[in-house]
Amino acid sequence: MSGVRAAKSLLALREQEELEDLPNDYPLSTSEDEGDGGGERKHQKLLEAISSLDGKNRRKLAERSEASLKVSEFTVSSEGSGERLVLSDLLEPVKTSSSLATVKKQLNRVKSKKTVELPLNKEEVERIHREVAFNKTSQTLSKWDPIVQKNRQAEQLVFPLMKEQSAFAPIEHVLNGWKARTPLEQEIFNLLCKNKQPVTDPLLTPVEKASLKAMSLEEAKMRRAELQRARALQSYYEARARREKKIKSKKYHRVLKKGKAKKALQEFENLRKTNPAAALEELEKLEKARMMERMSLKHQNSGKWAKSKAIMAKYDLEARQAMQDQLARNKELTQKVQVASESEEEEGGEEEEGDLLVPDAVNEAHMTADGPNPWMVRNHSGDAKEAEIQKDPEQLPEPMANEASESEEEERPVAEEEILLKEFEERRSLRKKSGLNQDAKPVSRQETKADSSTQEVLSELRALSQKLNKDSHQCRKQNVGSARTVLSVQREEPAGEEEEPPLLQRPERAQTLEELEELSKEGCFQNEELPRPALEEQQLERNNQPSAPKKKTKEQMIDLQNILTTKSPSVKSLAVPTIEELEDEQEREQKQMIKEAFAGDDVIRDFLKEKREAVEASKPKDVDLTLPGWGEWGGVGLKPSAKKRRRFLIKAPEGPPRKDKNLPNVIINEKRNIQAAAHQVRVLPYPFTHHQQFERTIQTPIGSTWNTQRAFQKLTTPKVVTKPGHIIKPIKAEDVGYRSSSRSDLSVIQRNPKQLSIRHKKQLKKN
């Protein structure tokens, strides 16, 4: 029955569907006409029933569509229904059961999963793999860098690098071939045999060997056990540390800190009792911390953190507290550790002050040992030096007290620090002076410099006085005399100069180099022929000119006249050379003087001329590109215009200043010595970028002529030494202490693409 009913209803459904599919205005078949009205209603109901299935009473507009080919066997088509059937709906039983909820959840999860994205194309993947592999490889290879660096910088490499262990030959083998030959040997041999000592073959008796072996095994076991224990302990410790590190409680940390401080103090007390030296060391550490603090000013509320806190301090009590803590710490750190000798009477107070201050036992030790306390050390050395200084008669006033009371000094070092420091300063300066006196060379050089400068000044003075009093001879003489007195004071000149007036008067005519040059430029050297007034005019002119620039040039230039006519004092020799014709000596001398004077004038002029020529010759030449006759009239006697010449003149760049620019009496050849340059280095070797750097490394001669034998050997050691007959193997990782070879690392990477770095993952995503 029920089966028939179901079939009927299904049939009805089919009919409805068909009806629905048909257009409304489509003429229905006559056979179904009668059940038209009732069918309509039924269909409505069915629709409502279906739509109410998911609880939402929603009406969907029926879509018009073609008759579908995909008609299920139950004549139900999915199209047009507009409702989606969820899988879980189908699974839902009539009555809800809790056991299916999990399945539903799983289904939901599956549903929420996104689709798998397309894999990257092959090239890109390969590229990324390559890059990663490269990075990894270079990383593994960079392990070798220090070794390579070391070998490169080594002064000498001896190959083979690892010393081969000498072939182990047990002594028994060596002794096998040995026989007692000499009587003494035989005697000893006999003795050994008598006492049943192992002579040749086994050096150790078998029992001994066995015991040795056993020992070694035991040892090995013990060692292993120890190692295991250590490893376990370490892991425990690490775990604990990790755990403790994660604790964020401030209180906990505060308590911890306090406990630590207490413990340290306790330890120190103990140490002091048991081992004062170690305690002293601890103390030094404290002192060092203090010094560091003093140097760094770390806790003076000046850091970034402190500044930020300072802003907050107004409102935040905690911040204020932190700042104060820091300041307290600074104070504590910078507080000087009291030295007992200084404060023997303050001992009571010291105890009151408590933990941080130092017990006196420590201080005593400090006093006796030559500790690193700078003040103490200085005291000591100062004493030593004083003892030396005492010998000096000059140093009397200072050390009178110190000498008497060395012990006192040690008791009150702070009070005398300053005195000592002063003394050191003085002594240093004294030593410097004495050093200066000893090497007279620099001093003398300075003197000569000063001398030359004074000479210049004096020459100027003289020149001025001459200009002013040219005509009045007496006056001039006086003036010159006065100048000369200065001169004589300066140079301690004996009174031999008056004997040679012609020599002296020469320079007064052509006073300065400029004058001389000017005159010689005019072509004729008319110093003597020049009429007096004209000369005077010239000089007046020069006097009227602002003399500053002239003076400046003079300072730079060393006056040639001065050089050649320095009034050198004559030697008062004990043994005056005998001269043949003594009778007309005076006359002859005069004549020669005059002759020499005239010759000298020529000498100077010629030299200046020569120098000018040399300077001209060494100057780079201008290039004149003017072609006469182009763009203007040409012909004999016609010159191209100045404008044109200027236009086509290529000026040569001015070379570097000549070495003899300020040395009027010298011509230094500026030409390059090509033959010598051929021997010089002309290429900079690799790591050097500037020739001065390289020059510095080749300054020291390496020949045995200039060095001691040892130094010579050291300088000429070959960089690489190979031993003949030895195979030089490539360096191994095991030799330098590496376990894993680089290849295994690589293979790991390539097999595990998961190990891609973040960057590469990003890159992948982007692609």
Partner 1 sequence: VGRMETAPKPGRDIPPKKDKLPTKKKRPRRYWEEETTPTAAAASPGPSPNKKRNRELRPQKPKNTHIPKKSRVSKKPQIVKKPRERRDAEPPRSLSGAQDPFPGPAPVSVEVAQKFRRIDKSKKLPHSKSKTRSRLEVAEAEEEEISVKAARSELLLAEEPGFLEGEDGEDTAKIRQADIVEAVDIASAAKHFDLNLRQFGPYRLNYSQTGRHLAFGGRRGHVAALDWVTKKLMCEINVMEAVRDIRFLHSEALLAVAQNRWLHIYDNQGIELHCIRRCDRVTRLEFLPFHFLLATSSETGFLTYLDVSVGKIVAALNARAGRLDVMTQNPYNAVIHLGHSNGTVSLWSPAMKEPLAKILCHRGGVRAVAVDSTGTYMATSGLDHQLKTFDLRGTFQPLSARTLPQGAGHLAFSQRGLLAAGMGDVVNIWTGQGKASPPSLEKPYLTHRLSGHVHGLQFCPFEDVLGVGHSGGITSMLVPGAAEPNFDGLESNPYRSRKQRQEWEVKALLEKVPAELICLDPRALAEVDVISLEQAKKERIERLGYDPESKAPFQPKPKLKGRSSTASLVKRKRKVMDEEHRDKVRQSLEQQPQKQEKAAKPMGARPSALDRFVR
- Residues 529 to 558: which contact partner 1 by CB under 8 A? 558
Are residues 177 and 199 in contact, defined by beta-carbon separation less than 8 angstroms?
A: no
Closest CA to 79 of 40, 21, 22, 26: 21
Nearer to partner 1, 342 or 451 (CB): 451
Backbone angles phi, psi at 278, to 5 degrees: -65, -40
Site residues for partner 1, 441-460, by CB under 8 A, read 441, 444-445, 448-449, 452
Note whether 698 binds partner 1 by CB under 8 A: yes
Tokens of 9: 């209803």
> What Rg do the C-alpha atoms of the chain give, in angstroms?
56
CB of residue 604 vs partner 1: minimum separation in angstroms? 7
Separation between Cα atoms, residue 271 and residue 278, nearest integer Å? 7
> By CB under 8 A, which span of 464-472, 531-539, 559-567, 638-646 interacts with partner 1?
559-567
Specify whether the CB–CB gap between 527 and 510 falls below 8 A.
Answer: yes
Cα 717 from Cα 269, distance rounded (Å): 57
β-pair partners for 157: 720
Taking the C-alpha atoms of 580, 586, 592 and 595 in order, what is their torsion angle to the nearest 10 degrees?
A: -160
In angstroms, what is the minimal distance from the CB of 520 to partner 1? 15
Please give the size of the binding site for partner 1, defined by CB under 8 A.
88
Q: Which span sits near partner 1 by CB under 8 A: 194-202, 206-214, 316-324, 669-677?
A: 669-677
Rule CB under 8 A: choose which of 454, 538, 590, 665 binds partner 1.
665
108 binds partner 1 (CB under 8 A): no
Query: CB-wise, 415 or 668, nearer to partner 1?
Result: 668
From the list 97, 165, 699, 717, which residue makes contact with partner 1 (rule: CB under 8 A)?
Answer: 699
- Rounded distance, CA 195 to CA 193, Å? 5
* b/e sequence 49-76, b meaning 16+ C-beta within 10 Å: eebeeeeeeeeeeeeeeeeeeeeeeeee
| 694 binds partner 1, rule: CB under 8 A | yes
Integer CA distances (angstroms), 196 to 165, 192, 311, in order? 34, 6, 92
Give 12 or 663: the residue with its C-beta nearer to partner 1: 663
User: Residue 634 CB, nearest distance to partner 1 (Å)?
Assistant: 39
The answer to whether 708 contacts partner 1 (rule: CB under 8 A) is yes
For tokens 């403790």, the residue is 244
Site for partner 1 in 308-337 (CB under 8 A): none
Tell me which of 419, 468, 564, 615 binds partner 1, using CB under 8 A.
Answer: 564
- Does 23 bind partner 1 (CB under 8 A)? Our answer is no
Of 701, 721, 748, 761, the one binding partner 1 (CB under 8 A) is 701
Q: Residues with Cβ < 8 Å from 136, sequence gap 6 or more?
A: 745, 746, 749
Asked if 377 is part of the footprint of partner 1 (rule: CB under 8 A), the reply reads no
Q: Is 98 in the site for partner 1 (CB under 8 A)?
A: no
Restricting to residues 712-741, which ones interact with partner 1 according to CB under 8 A? 714-715
Cα dist. 761→10, 746, 752 in Å? 58, 19, 14
Does position 678 interact with partner 1 (CB under 8 A)? The reply is: yes
Smallest distance, Å, CB 399 to partner 1? 17
Helix (H, G, I), strand (E, B) or coil at 400: helix
* Footprint (CB under 8 A) of partner 1, residues 598-657: 599-600, 603-604, 606-607, 610
Judged by CB under 8 A, does residue 707 bind partner 1?
Answer: yes
Rule CB under 8 A: say whether 274 interacts with partner 1: no
Q: Is 185 in the site for partner 1 (CB under 8 A)?
A: no
Query: Is 216 an interacting residue with respect to partner 1 (CB under 8 A)?
Result: no
Quote the CA–CA distance of 648 and 627 in Å, as a whole number. 9
Between 38 and 435, name the residue whose CB sits nearer to partner 1: 435
> In whole angstroms, how close is the CB of 458 to partner 1 at the nearest point?
15
Q: Which of 160, 202, 496, 753 touches partner 1 by CB under 8 A?
A: 496
Q: Name every residue whose Cβ is closer than 8 Å to that of residue 543 and which is 6 or more positions away in sequence.
A: 464, 467
